[in-house]
Structure 1
Amino acid sequence: MNIAANLQQIRAEIAAACLRAARDPEAVRLVAVSKTKSAAAISEAATAGQRIFGESYVQEFLDKSPEVRQAVEWHFVGHLQSNKVKYLRDRVTLIHSVDRLSLAREIDRQWARCEHPLAVLMQVNLGDEDSKSGIAPDQAADLARAIAALPHLRLRGLMTLPPYFDDPEEVRPFFRRLRLLADEIAALALPGVRMEELSMGMSHDFTVAIEEGATLVRIGTAIFGSRS
């Protein structure tokens, strides 16, 4: 598994997708999803120039992150239990998966002890799938209003994990819907809320996500190989 070569290939595909969509490649950031991957693999990716890593399991993140010596940025991208938030305090720069007010309140409570507020994304369940977390689209505006009132959080956009289709083109309507939902929330002009990030797209469909406006693509398998 040549992680450096994989990263080079993905960056080329990101640039090509941006060219097709008349977007600046600098507007799209790659989140290397490193859950279940070793600190050594993360360090190898960091040495190859990757800076943002996404983790999904709190205990695993706590165990391996101290072993990564390079200057990297950690995002939390998985389902988050409120009682685990305290372990992430001051260790992550963005949480992608805020899907309920109780979780937002606990993050706010923990970051009250920090010098800076935390940027968060709201996770939206566009496919109405019981197996996936996320707030229903018709409840997203209300949750955005509630998050806007929390002093130690900054809502910066939306995240989704759409249904899986072998053909990425079948996922395109979900990505488009997330972008339109972000536009609707932006139009509310809520204090402190900016819809500047769309976290969407994974290894098999990230180019379509970029064409539909993704600013953060979460890629694991195409960088690190299949999870063992």
Structure 2
Amino acid sequence: MITQNLKQTQNNIAEAAKKSGRTSDDILLVAVSKTKPLSALQEAYNVGIRDFGENKVQELCDKYDQLPKDIRWHMIGHLQRNKVKYLIGKVTMIHSVDSLRLAEEISKESVKKDAQTDILLEINCAGEESKFGIRPKDTLALVRQIAVLPNVHIRGLMTVAPLTQTPEENRVYFQLMKKLSVDIAQESVDNVSMDVLSMGMTIDYQTAIEEGSTCVRVGTGIFGTRTVADME
């Protein structure tokens, strides 16, 4: 099932990329593997997936220890400062940086471990009280504060769009994110690039790609609906 789902997902990505004048090579697919057993990740790995996204630090570290070392791990869930030390040196990218204090902790631990850590700033594009993230209007000021920190590199932006009935409803938020990334890029801040725009999940990744996403985070679309057994 995973192999078939993956093929369909990759076809959808290629189709959406074409609509935005790009190819599937321009889009990074992160397989969201939270709560999934090692066997499911291994199956995805066996058919070519190398980028996996996890929401919890402990689960990411456990899987890191047991799966092939050429996997690129992405921390996509909310990150507490006291857990940062466990991730540094293991993750390719942290997608969910939403405060200066968190960035400072990432910088401190990265310096300590002589590591360079790529991060994305998480934007609360719809202003939802239930979600983490920076307000769009506060983003540039935070970018300038984080840019001077050692061993941390802002590579772009991430958002979790609202849970909607149709993906079309989120198009406006994806457009807002794209504009924000372009505006920040035009400021040419040292140690900051906007080459990654992480937006779009199983329900809306095609729409996100049409609006400029360079990285989609797909879980259910690859691994199927999460079950109680997955959580145990």
Smaller-chain TM-score bracket: over 0.9
Determine the structure 2 residue equivalent to 1:13: 12
Residue of structure 2 in register with 1:77 after alignment:
76
Q: Which shows bigger deviation, 147-156 or 56-65?
A: 56-65
Aligned residue identity for 2:106: I
Q: Which residue of 1 aligns with 2:126?
A: 127
Query: How far is 1:63 from its partner?
Result: 2.1
Give the 5 Å matches for 1:47-86.
Answer: 47-69=46-68, 71-86=70-85
2:154 corresponds to which residue? Answer: 155
Q: Deviations over 1:123-158 (max 9, x none)?
A: 000111111110111110011001101111110100
Work out whether 1:209 is the aligned partner of 2:169: no
TM-superposed deviation, 1:115: 3.9
2:208 counterpart letter in structure 1: A
Shift of 1:82: 0.3
Alignment of 1:136-175 (within 5 A): 136-175=135-174
TM-score scaled by length of structure 2: 0.95
Report the CA distance between 1:70 and its aligned residue.
5.8
Quote the sequence identity (%): 45
Give the total of aligned pairs: 227
Map 1:177-196 to 2 at 5 A.
177-196=176-195
Assess if the C-alpha contact under 8 Å between 1:200 and 1:216 holds in 2: yes
Distance in 2, Cα, partners of 1:18 & 1:204: 16
TM-score w.r.t. length of structure 1: 0.97
Question: 2:109 matched to 1:110?
Answer: yes
Distance in 1, Cα, partners of 2:55 & 2:164:
22
Counterparts of 1:156 and 1:146 in 2: how far apart (Å)?
Answer: 15
Q: After the TM superposition, which parts of structure 1 deviate over 2 Å for at least 4 consecutive aligned residues?
A: 113-116
Determine the C-alpha separation between the residues in 1 that align with 2:106 and 2:68. 26
Task: Return the alpha-carbon distance in structure 2 between the equivalents of residues 69 and 92 of structure 1.
Answer: 14
Q: Which residue in the other structure is 1:34 paired with?
A: 33
Secondary structure at the aligned position of 2:181 is classed as helix
Indicate the RMSD between aligned Cα atoms, in angstroms: 1.0
Secondary structure of the residue aligned to 1:112 is: helix
What secondary structure does 1:107 align onto? helix
Question: Cα distance, 1:116 vs. partner?
Answer: 3.9
Structure 2 residue matching 1:93: 3-state secondary structure: strand
Return the letter of the residue paired with 2:124: N
Which residue does 2:43 correspond to in 1?
44
Unaligned regions of 5+ residues in structure 1, if any? Answer: none
Q: What code does the residue aligned with 2:56 have?
A: Y
Superposed displacement of residue 164, structure 1: 1.3
Q: Which moved more, 1:17-26 or 1:175-184?
A: 17-26
Contact 1:121 1:156 (8 Å CA) reproduced: yes
Aligned-pair CA distance for 1:88: 0.3
8 A contact 1:46–1:70 mirrored in 2: no
User: Is 2:88–2:115's contact at 8 Å kept on the other side of the alignment?
Assistant: no
Q: Which amino acid aligns with 2:100?
A: L
Counterpart AA for 1:185: I
